[in-house]
């Protein structure tokens, strides 16, 4: 019996030790390790009167077509739209008359869109020639009107903040052939195919360098047939966090956060915002998605030796990338043959512990910001910089608010302080780290109504959030244990209860314009102690929005609903609907 137990204990100890020693890998930022990140560039090539290449996408204007069935069902006919979809596969489809007025438009339903992916060339140098077909019903009355249009066009378009995409067909007409009306290209004098950038005509082939997210491109291409493409875009931010070279020196493994490659088949997803791709060292380039999915070419210039994955140090697995503290201490463990030392940053402290271990103290962390910290890595005769990102959150939240209640007409002024803990009770574990907080609130009545209880409230709440995270950085639902002291003229009572809260970013674009965070709270008080009076029961419901005014300040507004029952009862104990306005400060 003892041998199996001893054997099982050894296995458990081995697995536990392995998990403890696994650690968290540091990363080798590309721009700090002999790789120059060149400005992204917008590439275009008007290859012929009907073909345009943008980045890795080929657009053939002859494939922008519209056909309408002759069969009529319940006063409608089916219209079939086809277009090159490498650049735009969603948005809206519109039919425009000769005056450019949309006589029909419909938002593309992705469930009904038929997309056909196509590409030529190898995976790293593929040219995308995707096609999309969409069918929509148009009124027969519109079809009859279209017979009298001098010409018409159809467009697929999408507009978002900072981005505009319009792909329009050549001029089309309805012509009668026998007993049927068919859509045909309008016979007219050919246009001169040309490119316009920011309102100026330019050559048929070129590129534009984009250095930051504030630089816009306004691009227009007109084909000989009259088909047009309009693009307004800008780059999306990207952080090339890690670069390593393969053992044979022919490939590069690049990890980044932000703007993603256009070719999803080559991408390995690391997290919601991070990805990894393998590049040829001889030709290190990748097409990234700009705003609106526009392909922008990203090139790199290798200036020297690149680190290999086997050189990568690790830090303690208990080191969180987020903290409320101004200082974080961890242990760096280096692979065999690798030395770790100070990067030269005077803020951080790096001290050898002997062997392959080094103590690393990150000092003076900036409040409310993410900072990148480096250590020097010496391996195979070369020096590199390995990094770790640390975000210092703001643990305190102070809110001053005023509230008007109806039907009582009572007004209250409130001051609430929330304090969120990194490690509750000093315990560093998954159950305590970034889960717990404490709320202290004072609500003072500002006027009186003889029919309603004249009381003030002191609240203490222990808060627990279900998802690990930082307050007003990560959303979560949670539970609370409220304790409320109710004070009257020389008398008081203390009530206990249970609460629920839900803090989340608003779910729709419309609400995002009105608030940065939304909060719902429900507290129920079961009763109270007290010699002069007691609380029989009470409920408090709060729905509030917080609109970010700056990095530290928020405007708050919302509604409350509460009901209090006392023993002995007040003259009136009607439920109160409240309007709440305030300002909050994170620090």
* Domains of the chain, first to last: 40-233 (no CATH), 313-391 (2.60.40.10), 396-586 (2.40.160)
Enclosing H/E stretch for 2: helix 2-22
Average pLDDT, the chain: 91
Residue 437 has pLDDT above 50, yes or no: yes
What is the pLDDT at residue 121? 64
CA 420 to chain centre: 24
Question: Is the per-residue pLDDT at 406 higher than 90?
Answer: yes
Instruction: Name the token pair of 206.
Output: 């070129």
The reported pLDDT for the residue numbered 215 is 85
Beta-strand pair 322-323/382-392: parallel
pTM for this predicted structure: 0.81
Calculate mean pLDDT across residues 399-403: 98
The yes-or-no verdict on residue 313 having pLDDT over 50 is yes
Please report the pLDDT score of residue 427 as a whole number. 84
Tell me, what's the pLDDT at 122? 67
Give the strand order in the sheet containing 114-116: 65-68, 76-84, 131-139, 114-116
Please say whether the dihedral angle defined by the alpha carbons of residues 315, 316, 322 and 324, taken in this order, is positive or negative: negative
Classified as helix, coil or strand, 348 is: coil
Long-range contacts of range 510-513, CB-CB < 8 Å, 24 or more positions apart? 511/545
Looking at the DSSP bridge assignments, the partners of residue 510 are none
Could you give the CA distance from residue 471 to residue 477 in angstroms, rounded to a whole number?
Answer: 11
Q: What is the average per-residue pLDDT within 2-6? A: 41
On whether the CB atoms of residues 333 and 356 are closer than 8 A, the answer is: yes
Instruction: Tell which wins on pLDDT, 493 or 17.
Output: 493
CB distance 525 to 490 below 8 Å = no
Indicate the range of 160-174, 180-194, 542-556 predicted with least confidence. Answer: 180-194
pLDDT, average across residues 417-441:
93
What distance in Å separates the CA atoms of residue 364 and residue 359, rounded to the nearest whole number?
17
3-state DSSP call for residue 64? coil
pLDDT at 7 over 50: no
The rounded percent of the chain whose pLDDT value lies above 70 is 96
Backbone angles phi, psi at 426, to 5 degrees: 75, 10
CA atoms within 13 Å, Cβ hemisphere of 406: 3
The DSSP element (H or E) to which 145 belongs, if any, is helix 140-146
Quote the CA–CA distance of 307 and 29 in Å, as a whole number. 10
pLDDT surpasses 80 at 112: yes
Is residue 383 predicted with pLDDT exceeding 80? yes
Helix (H) / strand (E) element for 284: namely none
- Report whether pLDDT(5) > 70: no
d(CA 95, CA 173): 12
Distance CA 231, CA 357 (A): 53
């Amino acid at each position: 019996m003892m041998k199996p137990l001893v054997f099982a204990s050894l296995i458990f100890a081995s697995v536990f030790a392995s998990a403890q020693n696994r650690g968290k890998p540091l990363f080798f930022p590309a721009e700090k390790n002999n790789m120059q990140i060149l400005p992204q560039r917008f590439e275009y090539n008007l290859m012929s009167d009907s073909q345009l290449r943008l980045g890795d996408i080929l657009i053939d204007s002859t494939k922008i077509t519209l056909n309408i069935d002759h069969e009529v069902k319940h006063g409608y006919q089916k219209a079939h739209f086809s277009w090159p979809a490498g650049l735009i596969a969603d948005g809206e489809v519109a039919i425009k008359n000769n005056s450019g007025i949309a006589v029909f438009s419909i938002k593309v339903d992705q469930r009904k869109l038929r997309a056909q992916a196509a590409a030529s060339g190898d995976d790293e140098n593929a040219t995308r020639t995707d096609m999309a077909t969409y069918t929509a019903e148009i009124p027969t009355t519109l079809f009859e009107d279209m017979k009298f249009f001098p010409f018409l066009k159809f467009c697929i378009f999408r507009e978002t903040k900072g981005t505009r995409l319009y792909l329009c067909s050549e001029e089309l007409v309805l012509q009668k052939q026998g007993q049927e009306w068919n859509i045909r290209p309008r016979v007219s004098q050919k246009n001169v195919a040309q490119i316009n950038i920011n309102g100026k005509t330019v050559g048929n082939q070129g590129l534009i360098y984009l250095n930051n997210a504030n630089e816009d491109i306004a691009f227009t291409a007109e084909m000989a047939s009259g088909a047009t493409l309009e693009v307004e875009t800008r780059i999306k931010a990207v952080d090339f966090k890690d670069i390593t070279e393969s053992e044979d020196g022919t490939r590069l493994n690049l990890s980044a956060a932000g703007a993603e490659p256009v070719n999803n088949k080559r991408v390995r997803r690391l997290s919601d915002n991070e990805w990894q791709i393998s590049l040829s060292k001889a030709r290190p380039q990748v097409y990234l998605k700009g705003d609106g999915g526009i392909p922008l070419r990203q090139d790199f210039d290798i200036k020297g030796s690149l680190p290999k994955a086997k050189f990568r140090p690790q830090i303690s697995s208990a080191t969180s990338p987020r903290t409320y503290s101004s200082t974080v201490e961890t242990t760096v463990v280096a692979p065999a043959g690798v030395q770790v030392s100070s990067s030269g940053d005077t803020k951080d402290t790096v001290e050898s512990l002997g062997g392959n271990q080094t103590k690393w103290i990150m000092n003076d962390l900036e409040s409310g910001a993410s900072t990148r910290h480096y250590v020097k890595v010496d391996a195979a005769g070369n020096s590199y910089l390995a990094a770790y990102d640390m975000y210092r959150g703001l643990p305190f939240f102070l809110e001053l608010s005023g509230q008007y209640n109806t039907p009582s007409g009572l007004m209250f002024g409130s001051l609430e302080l929330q304090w969120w803990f990194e490690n509750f009770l000093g315990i560093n574990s998954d159950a305590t780290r970034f889960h717990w907080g404490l709320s202290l609130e004072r609500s003072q009545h500002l006027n009186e109504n003889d029919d309603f209880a004249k009381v003030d409230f002191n609240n203490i709440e222990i808060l627990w959030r279900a998802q690990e995270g930082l307050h007003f950085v990560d959303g979560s639902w949670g539970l609370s244990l409220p304790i409320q002291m109710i004070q009257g003229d020389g008398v008081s009572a203390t009530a206990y209860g249970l609460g629920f809260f839900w803090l989340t970013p608003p779910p729709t674009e419309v609400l995002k314009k009105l608030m940065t965070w939304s909060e719902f709270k429900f507290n129920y008080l079961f009763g109270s102690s007290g010699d002069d009076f007691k609380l029989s029961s009470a409920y408090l419901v709060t729905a509030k929005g917080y609109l970010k005014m700056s990095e530290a300040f928020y405007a708050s507004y919302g509604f409350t609903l509460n009901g209090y029952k006392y023993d002995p009862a007040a003259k009136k104990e009607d439920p109160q609907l409240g309007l709440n306005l305030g300002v909050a400060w994170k620090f």
